[in-house]
Structure 1
Amino acid sequence: MTRDLLVIVPTRGRPHAIADLLDTWDVADGTDLLLGVDDDDPELPAYRALVDAHNEPAVFLAVGPRLRLGGTLNALAADHAPGYRAIAFMGDDHRPRTTGWDAAMLAELDRLRAERGAGIVYGDDGLMHERLPTAVAMTSNIVTTLGRMVPPGLIHLYLDNYWLDLGRALDAITYMPHVLVEHLHPSAGKAAWDERYDEVNAPAMYDADKTTYEAFDAGGGIENDAARIRSRT
């Protein structure tokens, strides 16, 4: 039986962030939360305890090898997309603030799929606003067609650039300013810098992901992805 929306949240070393997310998690029946945790994360027992204590079958844990953000998203999205109408990504530092946010996104995705064959939506994150979808939801046929959620090789950055560019190439992306999915990022003064932030925002990380994404784009990757999706809708 197909469910409505799967929200994938890869996380490492931050069970306290997931505890805060679970305290405010308010969704419709049919929306599930999947936490992607590395099998070598020292905090894995704390993540397991949080999910067990939450005692909600719509919140579950996927434990696997460390693939970094892009790799984890691709693996989990490909595994689960056939069972859902839509797949979403949030970081462990995103917090949905708008009541009914999941239903609103699903309604817009349904409209885009009916009119365009596929669709991508994102709300206001309080930081990048319309400029980048730092949290995103998409029709599951995008993932099932491509077999992934982001281009291979991206580690952590430029994922949102890809979603924006792909949505524009499909002419099937909607920014929803009335839906707040707040990004509690230290650059906005909403969180303290920690080891994870330092690692993924290092200049070497920016350079590596920028080079990978620019090569993907220059090789026609975005247009090829869009053409594959259009051919299957």
Structure 2
Amino acid sequence: MADLLVIVPSRGRPESVARLVETWEATDAYAHARLAFAIDGDDPHHAAYERQASAQSLMLTIVRWLPMVHKLDRVAVGLATDYLALGFAGDDHLPRTPGWAKRYVDELRQMGTGIVYGDDGYQGERLPTQWAMTADIVQALGRMVPAPVEHLYCDNAVLELGRAAGCIRYLPDVVVEHMHPVAGKGVDDEQYRRVNGRAQYDRDRRAYQRWRRGGLRADARQVRELRRQS
């Protein structure tokens, strides 16, 4: 059994599967981690996703459409007891550094309880657009993304939690490149436009700010207690 499960929520982009599998194989990630695609049962491209997946990857179907963070949380909570750590990646995150998965696992084992992230080639240390955290955090909080957002500000919330609990570590020599249109590395499509629209920004910003005011302190306290016990 791999120590790390990296969950990739996706919709409408079955071509991303083969690209991710290729980069995982090229960086020897399958030796230490498992790749899981969380897709919607009503995705018109559902069959194409299954055809593209490798035998080493999981294809997890959510019965009905859910926002990205809800899909991520559901899968993470359901599988938290099976792995040392759980990771998130978008379907546009491509690992570039050989041995990156082993590095994540080694760092998290050393930390006992914690969060790690690498350089995405755009935000760098400023924001963990892709991350991995020890499974005890997911179990304690009952979710992987601490703030009750749908898509945006999830990386901000993870960074805030890690800093408040003193358990987040940036690995600048580990590159997991974010092939996003904003970074000039991807093509805009319907999914990007939907989740980056003004209504989504406003809704998630309000949820994130409410959590910062009322939930961050309690969540950080729980994680600090885990650290004392680990």
Asked whether the two chains share a fold, i.e. TM above 0.5, the reply is yes
2:122 to 117, 123, 127: 127
User: Is the 1:70–1:152 contact (alpha carbons within 8 Å) kept by the matching residues of 2?
Assistant: no
Matched, 1:145 2:140: yes
Q: How far apart, in 1, do the equivalents of 2:146 and 2:68 lie?
A: 12
TM-score if structure 1 supplies the norm length?
A: 0.92
SS at match of 1:167: helix
SS at match of 1:47: helix
Partner in structure 1 of residue 31 of structure 2:
29
User: Is the 2:87–2:133 contact (alpha carbons within 8 Å) kept by the matching residues of 1?
Assistant: yes
Q: How far apart, in 1, do the equivalents of 2:55 and 2:222 lie?
A: 40
2:208 to 205, 213, 217: 213
Name the aligned partner's letter for residue 45 of structure 2. E
Matched, 1:188 2:183: yes
Cα offsets for 1:77-110 (capped at 9, x unmatched) = 0001110001000000000000000011111111
Name the aligned partner's letter for residue 160 of structure 2. D
Partner in structure 2 of residue 55 of structure 1:
55
Cα offsets for 1:199-221 (capped at 9, x unmatched) = 111111111100001011111x1
Structure 1: 4+ residue segments shifted above 2 A = 229-233
Partner in structure 2 of residue 175 of structure 1:
170
User: Is the 1:70–1:156 contact (alpha carbons within 8 Å) kept by the matching residues of 2?
Assistant: yes
SS at match of 1:176: strand
User: Is the 2:147–2:211 contact (alpha carbons within 8 Å) kept by the matching residues of 1?
Assistant: no
Give the CA deviation at 1:164. Answer: 0.3
Residue ranges of structure 1 left out of the alignment (5+ in a row) = none
Give the CA deviation at 1:151. Answer: 3.4
SS at match of 1:134: coil
Partner in structure 2 of residue 224 of structure 1:
218
Partner in structure 1 of residue 107 of structure 2:
108
Number of corresponding residues: 223
User: Is the 2:147–2:208 contact (alpha carbons within 8 Å) kept by the matching residues of 1?
Assistant: no
Q: How far apart, in 2, do the equivalents of 1:30 and 1:134 lie?
A: 21
Q: How far apart, in 2, do the equivalents of 1:21 and 1:28 lie?
A: 12
User: Is the 1:71–1:152 contact (alpha carbons within 8 Å) kept by the matching residues of 2?
Assistant: no
User: Is the 1:28–1:103 contact (alpha carbons within 8 Å) kept by the matching residues of 2?
Assistant: no
Name the aligned partner's letter for residue 51 of structure 2. A
Give the CA deviation at 1:152. Answer: 5.7
User: Is the 2:5–2:83 contact (alpha carbons within 8 Å) kept by the matching residues of 1?
Assistant: yes
Q: Percent identity?
A: 45
SS at match of 1:105: helix
Q: How far apart, in 2, do the equivalents of 1:47 and 1:35 lie?
A: 9
